[in-house]
């Protein structure tokens, strides 16, 4: 696509370098016309800040969608991140069905869980609502915890390649087409991503920083989608996104005052070079 139009649906954390404040600049840097549908507006993200404000925007969704339909607006790709409720998931699914161009791509990051647990706002009903969106998408980017919830698989902190293969098999059996499974770590100092496409699984292993950073999942997913829109294969996009995310983390290490996110903006010129632009 020379100049793709992509819609991304996720929240706006006004301060904190995550969700839409990450997706919009990264996808724009990738050369995509980036349209947004905010699921909520927060004063900051919820990890480490206290007293943050939240305004849910679910009731605006049908009016926005109706206006887009009236204006004959459609998208080459739709990419979802954090969705705050089952109702928002249903609206996202309707957007896939009604506003995607023929041959368009749907990408779902089922941002709902980590470290063996659902995020505090979610329950099993939310997981069940998420399943049709995930298994109807062209590409999904779950972490291991999310993959476990989506396939009713017991979560294991320690695992081997056979466990990851089982997760990928179960996701495929449930309807997943292309899977980018993130946070796959077989040894303490390394992590990586497993990509399953058309029955083939490829694994990219890379350095694991001792100290993680908030928002890196959004950085990774956005960089992946941007690379995909530039003609990269799912595996090559997964590798490029991992390398870019590592660069962002590296640029942030050692700055105690910047504890709430990564300095992804400083690495955007390198991201553009990675894309061959």
> Quick check: 211 pLDDT over 90?
no
Which letter, b or e, does each residue of 202-236 get, where b requires 16 or more Cβ atoms within 10 Å of its Cβ?
ebbeeebeeeebbbbbbbbbbbbbbbbbbebebbb
Beta bridge partners of residue 200, listed in sequence order: 197
pTM of the model: 0.96
Query: For residue 210, what pLDDT is reported?
Result: 72
pLDDT tens column, 12-29 = 999 999 999 999 999 999
For residue 80, how far is the Cα from the chain centroid? Answer: 7
Question: Can you give the residue ranges of every domain in the chain?
Answer: 5-271
> Quick check: 85 pLDDT over 80?
yes
Angle, CA 17 vertex, CA 12 and CA 19 arms, to 5°: 40
What is the percent of the chain with per-residue pLDDT over 90, rounded to a whole number? 91
Mean pLDDT of 186-210: 93
> Quick check: 94 pLDDT over 90?
yes
Quick one: fold of 5-271? 3.40.1190
- The residue length of the chain stands at 277
* Dihedrals phi, psi of 79, to nearest 5 degrees: -125, 120
Outline where 39-85 has alpha helix (H). 61-70
């Amino acid at each position: 696509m020379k100049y793709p139009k992509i819609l991304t649906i996720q929240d706006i954390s006004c301060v904190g370098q995550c969700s839409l404040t990450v997706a919009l600049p990264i996808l724009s840097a990738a050369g995509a016309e980036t349209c947004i549908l905010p699921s909520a507006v927060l004063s900051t993200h919820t990890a480490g800040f206290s007293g943050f404000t939240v305004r849910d925007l679910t009731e605006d969704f049908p009016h926005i969608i109706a206006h887009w339909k009236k204006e004959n607006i459609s998208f080459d790709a739709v990419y979802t991140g954090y969705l705050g409720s089952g109702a928002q998931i249903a609206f996202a699914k309707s957007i896939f069905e009604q506003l995607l161009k023929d041959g368009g791509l749907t990408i779902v990051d089922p941002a709902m869980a980590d470290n063996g647990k659902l995020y505090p706002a979610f329950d099993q009903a939310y997981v069940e609502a998420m399943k049709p969106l995930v298994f109807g998408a062209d590409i999904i980017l779950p972490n291991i915890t999310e993959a476990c919830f989506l396939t009713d698989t017991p979560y294991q902190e320690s695992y081997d390649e056979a466990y990851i293969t089982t997760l990928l098999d179960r996701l495929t059996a449930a309807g997943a087409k292309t899977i980018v499974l993130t946070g796959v770590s077989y040894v303490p100092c390394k992590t990586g991503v497993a990509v399953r496409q058309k029955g083939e699984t490829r694994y990219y292993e890379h350095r694991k920083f001792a100290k993680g950073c908030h928002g890196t999942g959004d950085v990774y997913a956005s960089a992946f989608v941007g690379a995909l829109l530039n003609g990269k294969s799912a595996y090559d996009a997964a590798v490029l996104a991992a390398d870019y995310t590592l660069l962002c983390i590296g640029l942030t290490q050692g700055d105690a005052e910047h504890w709430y996110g990564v300095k992804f903006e400083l690495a955007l010129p390198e991201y553009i070079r990675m894309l061959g632009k």
